[in-house]
C-alpha cells in the first residue's frame, strides 16, 4: 500500500509563510486533501482537490501539487494556525483504499 | 451542516469485539461514502475502512481480517466492528463522510465532515 511522508515538525514566525509538504507515489495520480487538528479536537478539512477551501477556511490556506509532492501553504500564519496537519489521498495500488500522511506539527 | 455522532462503549476487554455506531442526521446517509478513522494516543491518523451508500466496503489491509463496517439506512447509522482487540487498538475513533467533491478547477477526495471522536480503551 501507499505511504505519505511528512516532516514531523516545522515552525513559522507570526505573519510569515510556511509550506508543509507531503510526499508519496499516489500523489502522481491523486490530489491530496489536508486536515488541521488542534489538541483534543477532531480534524478539520482545510484543502481538497487542486486548491479548494471549504466554506469557513481562511484564504491564507492554499494547496499545490507537483509530481509526487503535495504542499499546504499558510501565508501570513496566525497563532490559531498552530496545530497538527495531515495529508490524505487514495492508495496508489488500490484506489478503493485511503491513506493518511504521517503528520506535521506546526508551531507559530 | 451535517454533524456526525459516534457512540459505543469506552472500554473493551482484550480479545473481545469493539462495536461503535455513527449517527448521520438529516437522512443523507444514502448519498455518500462513510469512513471510520482512528488515532492512537499521541499518534497519527489511520484509515480503517469505508462503506458506500450501496453497501460496498473497503478496508485497510492491515485490519481487514478483523473489521466489518455495516449500514442501517432506516436508522441513518453506520457501524464498526473490530474483533479480537488488543491494547494496540486503544485509540480515538472517528467517523467521517468520505466523498469526491467536484470543482471546475479540479476537485478531489475529502473527509469533509467528522464526528467529535470517541475514546476506546482496550483493557481488562
Task: Say if the Cβ atoms of A50 and B105 lie within 8 Å.
Answer: yes
**Does the CB of B63 have a partner CB in chain A at under 8 Å?**
no
Residue A42 has a pLDDT of 98
pLDDT for position A50: 95
Q: Grade residue B3 by pLDDT with cuts at 50, 70 and 90.
A: confident
Give residue-wise pLDDT tens across range B23-53.
998 878 888 999 999 999 999 999 999 999 9
Q: What confidence tens digit (pLDDT) does each residue in A77-105 have?
A: 999 999 999 999 999 999 999 999 999 99
Cβ contact, residue pair B109, A48, below 8 Å: yes
Contacts of B119 in chain A (CB under 8 A): none
Hey, are the CB atoms on A43 and B61 less than 8 Å from each other? no
Q: Name the band, by pLDDT with cuts 50, 70 and 90, for residue B72.
A: very high
A2 at the B interface (CB within 8 A)?
A: no
Q: Chain B partners of A90 at a C-beta cutoff of 8 Å? A: 109
Please report the pLDDT score of residue B27 as a whole number: 72
Termini Cα distance of chain B: 39
> Which stretches in chain A have pLDDT values below 70?
none
How high is the pLDDT of residue B2?
72
Smallest Cβ–Cβ distance between A100 and the set B46, B106, B112 belongs to B46
Contacts of B109 in chain A (CB under 8 A): 30-31, 33, 48, 88-90, 98
Contact A43 B45 (CB under 8 A): yes
pLDDT of residue B1: 66
What would the DSSP string read from start to end of B33-92? Answer: EEEEEEE-TTS--EEEEEE-TT--EEE-TTTGGGEEEEEETTTTEEEEEE-S--GGG-EE
Amino acid at each position: 500500500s501507499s505511504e505519505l511522508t511528512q516532516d514531523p515538525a516545522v515552525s513559522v514566525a507570526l505573519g510569515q509563510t510556511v509550506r508543509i509538504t507531503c510526499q508519496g507515489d499516489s500523489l502522481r495520480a491523486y490530489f491530496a486533501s489536508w486536515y488541521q487538528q488542534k489538541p483534543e479536537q477532531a480534524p478539520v478539512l482545510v484543502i481538497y482537490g487542486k486548491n479548494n477551501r471549504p466554506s469557513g477556511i481562511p484564504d491564507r490556506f492554499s494547496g499545490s501539487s507537483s509530481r509526487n509532492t503535495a504542499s499546504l501553504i499558510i501565508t501570513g500564519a496566525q497563532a490559531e494556525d498552530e496545530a497538527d496537519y495531515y495529508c490524505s489521498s487514495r492508495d496508489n495500488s488500490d484506489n478503493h483504499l485511503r491513506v493518511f500522511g504521517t503528520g506535521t506539527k506546526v508551531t507559530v | 451542516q451535517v454533524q456526525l455522532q459516534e457512540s459505543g462503549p469506552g472500554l473493551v476487554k482484550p480479545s473481545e469485539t469493539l462495536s461503535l455506531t455513527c449517527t448521520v442526521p438529516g437522512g443523507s446517509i444514502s448519498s455518500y461514502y462513510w469512513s471510520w478513522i482512528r488515532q492512537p494516543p499521541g499518534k497519527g491518523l489511520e484509515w480503517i475502512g469505508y462503506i458506500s451508500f450501496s453497501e460496498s466496503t473497503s478496508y485497510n489491509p492491515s485490519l481487514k481480517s478483523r473489521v466489518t463496517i455495516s449500514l442501517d439506512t432506516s436508522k441513518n447509522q453506520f457501524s464498526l466492528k473490530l474483533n479480537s482487540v488488543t491494547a494496540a487498538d486503544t485509540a480515538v475513533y472517528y467517523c467521517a463522510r468520505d466523498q469526491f467533491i467536484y470543482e471546475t478547477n479540479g476537485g478531489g477526495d475529502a473527509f469533509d465532515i467528522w464526528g467529535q471522536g470517541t475514546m476506546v480503551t482496550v483493557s481488562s
